[in-house]
Amino acid sequence: MTRLSLSRRFFVSAAPALAVAGSVTASHAADAADPRLSPRIIGNPNAKVLVQEWFSLTCTHCAHFATEEFPQIKEKLIDTGKIRYQFHDFCGDRVGLTAAMVARSLPEERYVPFIEALFSSQMQWAFASGGDPMQRLKQMSALAGVSAAQFDAISKDNVFAEALFDQVKKDSDTYNIQGTPYFRLNNTHYDQDPETYEKFADLVAKAS
DSSP assignment of 150-178:
HHHHHHT-HHHHHHHHHHHHHHHHHHT--
The pLDDT assigned to 2 comes to 55
| pLDDT band with cut points at 50, 70 and 90 for residue 128 | confident
What is the Cα–Cα distance from 205 to 185, expressed in whole angstroms? 10
Average pLDDT of the chain is: 87
Task: Pinpoint the alpha helices (H) of the chain.
Answer: 8-14, 60-64, 70-73, 94-105, 111-120, 122-125, 133-143, 148-155, 158-175, 197-207
Q: Are strands 2-3 and 179-180 parallel, antiparallel or unpaired?
A: antiparallel
The pLDDT assigned to 1 comes to 58
Domain boundaries, the chain: 47-207
The pLDDT assigned to 92 comes to 80
- Name the pTM for this structure: 0.85
Average pLDDT over residues 75-103: 95
Helix 94-105 × helix 111-120 angle, to 10°: 150
Q: Which residue has the higher pLDDT, 2 or 189?
A: 189
Longest dimension (CA), the chain: 53
Average pLDDT over residues 135-142: 96
The pLDDT assigned to 14 comes to 45
Contact 57, 119 (CB under 8 A): yes
The pLDDT assigned to 33 comes to 78
* 2-53 residue pLDDT tens: 555 544 444 444 444 333 223 334 444 444 578 999 999 999 999 999 999 9
The pLDDT assigned to 43 comes to 97
* Topology of the domain covering 47-207: Glutaredoxin (3.40.30)
| pLDDT band with cut points at 50, 70 and 90 for residue 87 | very high
